[in-house]
């Protein structure tokens, strides 16, 4: 990868800490990313900061065809968070690569493209169209959103079932060149997240993103009916952060115990400040995405990166990589 | 003394983000009229655009932004540029805003969304505001009169205390009609009861509206029936205000005749009334019309 001017800006601001990340073979100048569905596809946040300053820009999960998403209301505010039921609204992969990915490329962004499907075949088709696109060289990885409902399987999300997850990951992996890493995005709404992670890595995932939203529900107590039109929705924001820390921790622990091959973890869930990001990093995340906090502060993904760099330096480290998973070395001995 | 800090937004982006000091607050009937220092915002803003305010301070548990129509802006003054909003206390965020006191600071992003389009010719116009929906109409009236348009205003609300700007309207418009549901001021009834007569009398070519969705639908019906174009500023529930969350969508017919679920914070809040699929709204829900682009198919999700 060539270094853009924004890389040098990001690397030289404020601290002397090496914040770069090697993410499944891709070198990123910063660990910071947007979270899928919380940043649209670039232009909107490009008004607030240079999208090339991020380690990677993560796009809204895209499916094969255009989708309207659900009716409204689509959201409810909850304590330190929100419930959303968007229904994967999007332009479809063809329009996405032509308009959105092309824009991100000319803006100098490294893009992590999030893909989704109602069937495992749809995921593969989306990946194939992506690979064939002109701007594919700006893609630093593909994030597979297996946390969406599986049409064929009574609407259960793929990521609740290790076998269904593995099938999707294997089909997507097949469509993409070896040097383009595939990340499986997992839901914490499972009994054992490690077994889903194992299935995904075995099927060819080069990394894991966790967590997607938790299934939740809000009732409007004036009208005594569900507040969002989709009835249930995904819970996100600082309220879910301890769940994200736990999921990253358990997965990293499984790697340390030899139950899971070492793959990088991208931590996401409730990050609002550098301190929050540091928590995920110490639990085992190599990179960090900022989702819901962006609605409060549109520049949060880059601000959190600056705060994180400052904290890492204050604690006496020179490289972010040395902090990844460090909390596992500092357990109370019984 | 500066009263505001400007944060990173990028040159040419058309939007600024500032921590603005509240310099004036006054009660107007059921509402609070607030003036914030917001350098750089006034020069960019046009009538119909809005601002998104963060509420509760930096560690607030209410993360989502609250959106308000820009009531007016002034590019320079004792404090530098300022922006005014008119707020009705409703839930926790608006209650927090209305309890702010002079010199408190608020994080403001704006101007956002598309402004009211102005006619090229000096045609007569009617501006209709429901409740605090009249807030953005006064500087719109000014802009229209600067172009030589004859401007009349129709202000409606449930009751007198929920009308906003009746006195101001007399200053900004060539004629003002007031309605209240309970008859406490002006004509008893709805704005749609008096609107046909005002359109006919003035020969209005454009009707601008801002207020509750039901009112905007009836303004559109009346305007269309009278041969005028309706331009309405909608109020959909918004989480971010800047186009990244997809919560604020509504079905709107595009130039190609196809209905899409579009983001009202970036493609709106102003839409041509006859392009909005009012048939999809009922009982506080808005469904996706079956003929919308990418609508759920049977068996899908
Ligand atoms: C373009 C636009 C212009 C507006 N102009 C004004 C104005 O000039 N004066 C005024 O008093 N109000 C205005 N509103 C409505 C105002 O944004 C809501 O009343 C306010 O966000 C509610 O916040 P809350 O904390 O009181 O309620 P809550 O119900 O706690 O809000 C929770 C979340 O839902 C969103 N939300 C709830 N109701 C609305 C709503 N009606 N519209 C948009 N988002 C909503 C909030 O932004 C927040 O994200 C406008 C809304 C929009 C979209
Ligand atoms: C409005 C909204 C839309 C989302 N859309 C997607 C999506 O399309 N694909 C996806 O993988 N995750 C989606 N997510 C989940 C986020 O990417 C993220 O995993 C989750 O919100 C937790 O992080 P946060 O607390 O920082 O928001 C969405 C979240 C929100 C709030
Ligand atoms: S309010 Fe977030 S996209 Fe419109």
**d(CA B90, ligand 1 centre) in Å:** 8
Token pair recorded at residue B165: 């700007």
What is d(CA A183, CA A173) in angstroms, rounded to the nearest whole number? 10
Closest-approach residue (CA) in chain A for B238: A75
Q: How far apart are CA A73 and CA B235, in angstroms?
A: 12
Is there an atom of ligand 2 within 6 Å of A37 CB? yes
Q: How far apart are CA A219 and CA A213, in angstroms?
A: 18
pTM score of the predicted model? 0.95
Mean pLDDT of all residues belonging to chain A: 94
Q: B241 CA to middle of ligand 3, Å?
A: 5
Nearest CA to CA, how far is B110 from chain A (Å)? Answer: 11
A271 lines ligand 2 (CB under 6 A): yes
pLDDT in tens, B141-167: 999 999 999 999 999 999 999 999 999
Q: Helix or strand or coil: residue A321?
A: helix
pLDDT at A334: 62
* Buried b or exposed e, range A148-177, using 16+ CB within 10 angstroms: bbbeeeeeebbbbbbebbbbbbbbbbebbe
Determine whether the shortest distance from the Cβ of B236 to ligand 3 is under 6 A. Answer: no
- pLDDT for A9 equals 46
Which of A69, A155, A298 lies closest to B242 in CB terms?
A: A298
Query: Are B88 and B133 within 8 A, CB to CB?
Result: no
Residue B238 to residue B67: CA distance in whole angstroms: 7
Distance CA A248, CA A284 (A): 6
Residue B163, token pair as written in the block = 């009308």
Choosing from A38, A148, A160, A200, which is the catalytic residue? A148
d(CA B64, CA A78): 10
Closest ligand 1 atom to B238 CA:
44
Q: How far is B14 from chain A (nearest CA, A)?
A: 8
Average pLDDT over residues B161-178: 96
User: Would you state the pLDDT for residue A3?
Assistant: 41
CB contact under 8 A, B239 and A151: no
How many whole angstroms from its chain centre is CA B285? 20
Q: Does the C-beta of B62 come closer than 6 Å to ligand 3?
A: no
Tell how far the Cα of B52 is from the centroid of ligand 1, in angstroms: 10
Q: What mean pLDDT is predicted for residues B166-179?
A: 96
Q: Which chain A residues are Cβ-neighbours of B293 within 8 angstroms?
A: 66, 68
Count of alpha carbons within 13 Å of A231, Cβ hemisphere only? 0
Atom number of ligand 2 nearest to Cα A147 = 11
Least distant ligand from the CA of B236: 1
The pair of structure tokens assigned to B126 is 């009617």
**What is the residue-level pLDDT of chain A in tens, covering all 334 positions?**
344 444 444 444 557 899 999 999 999 999 999 999 999 999 999 999 999 999 999 999 999 999 999 999 999 999 999 999 999 999 999 999 999 999 999 999 999 999 999 999 999 999 999 999 999 999 999 999 998 777 777 778 898 999 999 999 999 999 999 999 999 999 999 999 999 999 999 999 999 999 999 999 999 999 999 999 999 999 999 999 999 999 999 999 999 999 999 999 999 999 999 999 999 999 999 999 999 999 999 999 999 999 999 999 999 999 999 999 999 999 887 6
Q: What is the Å distance from ligand 1's center to B102 Cα?
A: 22
For residue B8, what pLDDT band results from cuts at 50, 70 and 90?
Answer: low
Helices (H) and strands (E) in chain A, counts: 10, 16
Give chain B positions within 8 Å (CB) of A67. Answer: 294
**Helix (H), strand (E) at residue B177:** strand B175-180
- Amino acid B6: pLDDT: 66
Q: Does the Cβ of B213 fall within 6 Å of ligand 1?
A: no
Report pLDDT digits (tens) over B11-55: 788 999 999 999 999 999 999 999 999 999 999 999 999 999 999
Chain A residues within 8 A of B286 when measuring between CB atoms? 71-72, 229
Nearest CA to A31 among A96, A87, A112, A124? A112
Q: Do A298 and B244 touch (CB under 8 A)?
A: yes
Checking if the pLDDT of B79 tops 80, the result is no
| Model ipTM value | 0.95
User: Distance between CA B248 and CA A166 in Å, rounded?
Assistant: 35
Best probe residue, ligand 2, of A35, A268, A285 (max atoms within 8 Å of C-beta): A35
Asked whether the predicted pLDDT for residue B4 surpasses 90, the reply is no
In the Cβ-directed half-sphere of B11, how many Cα atoms lie within 13 Å?
0
Which pLDDT score is estimated for B298? 53
CB contact under 8 A, B242 and A74: no
> Ligand 3 centre and the CA of A70: distance in Å?
14
Please write the tens of the pLDDT for every residue from B229-267: 999 999 999 999 999 999 999 999 999 999 999 999 999
For residue A5, give the 3-state DSSP assignment.
helix
CB contact under 8 Å between A87 and B13, yes or no, is no
Subunit contact A68:B287, Cβ cutoff 8 A: no
For every residue of B190-220, which 3-state class applies, written as one string?
CHHHHHHHHHHHHCCCEEEEECCHHHHHHHH
pLDDT in tens, B50-74: 999 999 998 999 999 999 999 999 9
Vertex B296: Cα angle to B291 and B298 (nearest 5): 100
* β-sheet bridge partners, residue B107: B19
Residue A37 DSSP label: T
The closest alpha carbon to A174, from A150, A144, A197, A149, belongs to A144
A38 catalytic per annotation = no
Residue among B239, B243, B284 whose CB faces A40 most closely: B243
Closest CA to A288 of A303, A305, A263: A305
| Cross-chain CB nearest to B242 (options A44, A89, A118) | A44
Interchain contact, B286 vs A79, CB within 8 Å: no
Q: How much is the CA Rg of chain A, to the nearest whole Å?
A: 19
pLDDT digit string, tens, across residues A130-172: 999 999 999 999 999 998 777 777 778 898 999 999 999 999 9
B93, B56 contact by CB (below 8 A): yes
Does the CB atom of residue A291 touch ligand 2 within 6 A? yes
Q: Is B296 exposed, middle or buried (0-12, 13-18, 19+ CB in 10 A)?
A: middle
| Contacting residues for B83 by C-beta, under 8 A, at least 6 apart | B20, B35, B36, B38, B41, B42, B45, B51, B70, B72, B73, B108, B110
SS3 content of chain A, % helix, strand, coil (to 5): 40, 20, 40
Decide: A126 in ligand 2 pocket, CB within 6 A: no
Alpha helices in chain B (DSSP H): 41-44, 92-98, 137-146, 166-172, 191-202, 213-225
Question: Shortest Cα distance from A75 to chain B (angstroms)?
Answer: 6
What's the pLDDT at B297? 74
CA distance to A93, A159, A181, per residue, from A129 (Å) = 7, 23, 16
pLDDT of residue B80: 81
Structure tokens at A185: 């995005």
Does the distance separating the beta carbons of A74 and B246 come in below 8 Å? yes
Helix, strand, coil percent content, chain B, rounded in steps of 5: 20, 35, 45
Cα A54 from Cα B176, distance rounded (Å): 53
Model confidence pLDDT, tens digit, residues A35-48 = 999 999 999 999 99
Edge-first strand order for the sheet with A182-186 is A32-34, A287-290, A265-268, A207-210, A182-186, A139-145, A111-115, A57-58
Q: What is the mean pLDDT of chain B?
A: 94
For residues B157 and B135, what is the distance between their CA atoms, to the nearest angstrom?
A: 13
Q: Residue B11: what pLDDT?
A: 77
Q: How many angstroms separate the most distant Cα atoms in chain B?
A: 62
């Amino acid at each position: 990868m060539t270094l853009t001017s924004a890389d040098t800006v990001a690397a030289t601001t404020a601290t002397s800490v090496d914040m770069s990340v090697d993410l499944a073979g891709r070198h990123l100048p910063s660990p910071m990313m947007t979270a899928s569905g919380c940043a649209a596809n670039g232009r909107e946040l490009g008004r607030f900061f240079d999208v090339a300053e991020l380690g990677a820009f993560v796009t809204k999960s895209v499916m094969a065809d255009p989708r309207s998403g659900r009716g409204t209301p689509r959201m409810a505010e909850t304590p330190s968070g929100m419930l959303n039921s968007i229904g994967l609204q999007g332009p479809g992969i063809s329009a996405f690569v032509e308009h959105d990915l092309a824009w991100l490329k000319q803006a100098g962004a490294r893009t992590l493209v999030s893909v989704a499907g109602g069937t495992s075949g749809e995921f593969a088709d989306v990946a194939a169209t992506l690979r064939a696109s002109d701007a594919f060289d700006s893609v630093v990885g593909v994030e597979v959103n297996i946390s969406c409902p599986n049409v064929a399987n009574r609407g259960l999300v793929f990521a609740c079932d290790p076998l269904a997850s593995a099938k999707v990951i294997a089909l997507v992996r097949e469509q993409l060149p070896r040097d383009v890493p595939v990340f499986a995005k997992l839901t914490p709404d499972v009994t054992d997240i490690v077994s889903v992670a194992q299935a995904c890595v075995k099927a060819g995932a080069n990394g894991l993103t966790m967590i997607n939203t938790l299934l939740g529900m809000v009732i409007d107590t004036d009208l005594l009916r569900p507040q969002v039109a989709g009835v249930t929705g995904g819970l996100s924001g600082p309220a879910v952060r301890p769940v994200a820390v736990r999921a990253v921790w358990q997965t990293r622990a499984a790697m340390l115990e030899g139950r899971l091959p070492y793959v990088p973890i991208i931590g996401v869930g409730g990050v609002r400040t550098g301190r929050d990001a540091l928590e995920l990093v110490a639990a085992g995340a190599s990179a960090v995405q900022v989702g819901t906090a962006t609605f409060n502060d549109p520049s949060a993904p880059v601000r959190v990166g600056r705060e994180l760099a400052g904290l890492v330096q204050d604690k006496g480290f020179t490289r972010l990589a040395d902090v990844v998973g460090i909390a596992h070395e500092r357990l109370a001995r019984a | 003394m500066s009263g505001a800090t400007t944060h990173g937004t990028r040159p040419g982006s058309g939007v600024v983000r500032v921590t603005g000091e509240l310099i004036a607050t006054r009660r107007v009937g059921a509402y609070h009229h607030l003036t914030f220092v917001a350098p750089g915002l006034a020069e960019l803003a046009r009538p119909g655009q809005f601002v998104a305010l963060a509420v509760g301070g930096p560690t607030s548990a209410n993360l989502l932004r609250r959106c308000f129509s820009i009531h007016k802006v002034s590019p320079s003054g004792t404090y530098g540029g300022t922006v005014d909003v008119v707020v009705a206390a409703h839930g926790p965020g608006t209650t927090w805003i209305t309890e702010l006191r002079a010199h408190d600071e608020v994080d403001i992003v704006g101007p956002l969304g598309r402004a009211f389009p102005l006619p090229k010719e000096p045609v007569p116009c009617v501006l209709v505001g429901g409740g605090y929906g009249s807030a953005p109409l006064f500087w719109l009236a000014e802009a229209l009169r600067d172009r030589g348009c004859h401007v009349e205003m129709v202000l409606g609300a449930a009751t007198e205390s929920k009308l906003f700007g009746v006195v101001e309207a007399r200053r900004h418009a060539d004629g003002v009609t007031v309605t209240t549901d309970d008859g406490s001021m002006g004509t008893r009834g709805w704005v749609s009861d008096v609107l046909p007569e005002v359109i006919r009398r003035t020969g209005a070519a454009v009707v601008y509206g801002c207020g509750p969705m039901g009112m905007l639908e009836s303004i559109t019906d009346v305007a269309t029936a009278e041969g005028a174009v309706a331009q309405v500023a909608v109020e959909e529930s918004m989480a971010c205000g800047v186009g990244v969350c997809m919560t604020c969508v509504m079905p709107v017919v595009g130039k190609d005749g196809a209905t899409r679920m579009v983001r009202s914070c970036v493609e709106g809040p102003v839409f041509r009334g006859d392009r909005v699929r009012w048939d999809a709204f009922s009982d506080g829900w808005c469904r996706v019309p079956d003929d919308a682009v990418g609508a759920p198919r049977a068996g899908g999700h």
